[in-house]
Amino acid sequence: ITLVSSSGSTGNCNNHKLNYYVTRGLPPYSVQLYRNGVAYGSPVTTNDTAKFTSLTPDVYYAKVKSTGA
């Protein structure tokens, strides 16, 4: 999993975005975003890019599982 883009402004805006590109393994992939070490929202199912939007400023990371057969 690779962070391909992130954007947002400073302050307490809710418009921060993270886009992760997933390779290796077999699609579809399940990507779970974490905020301060706690699962944040529901996992996103994708064949390549997982997009997370409307994020508040904080520390995030993502984990991916290959759910393909």
DSSP labels for 23-41? -SS-S-EEEEEEETTEE-S
> CA 13 → CA 37, 40, 47, 52, 55, distances in Å?
21, 17, 29, 15, 8
pLDDT of residue 43: 94
CB burial of residue 14 (10 Å; 0-12, 13-18, 19+): exposed
pLDDT of residue 26: 87
Residue 50: helix, strand or coil by DSSP?
strand
pLDDT, tens only, 7-48: 765 555 567 888 889 888 889 999 999 999 999 999 999 999
| Residue 69's pLDDT band (cuts 50, 70, 90) | low
pLDDT, tens only, 47-64: 999 999 888 888 899 999
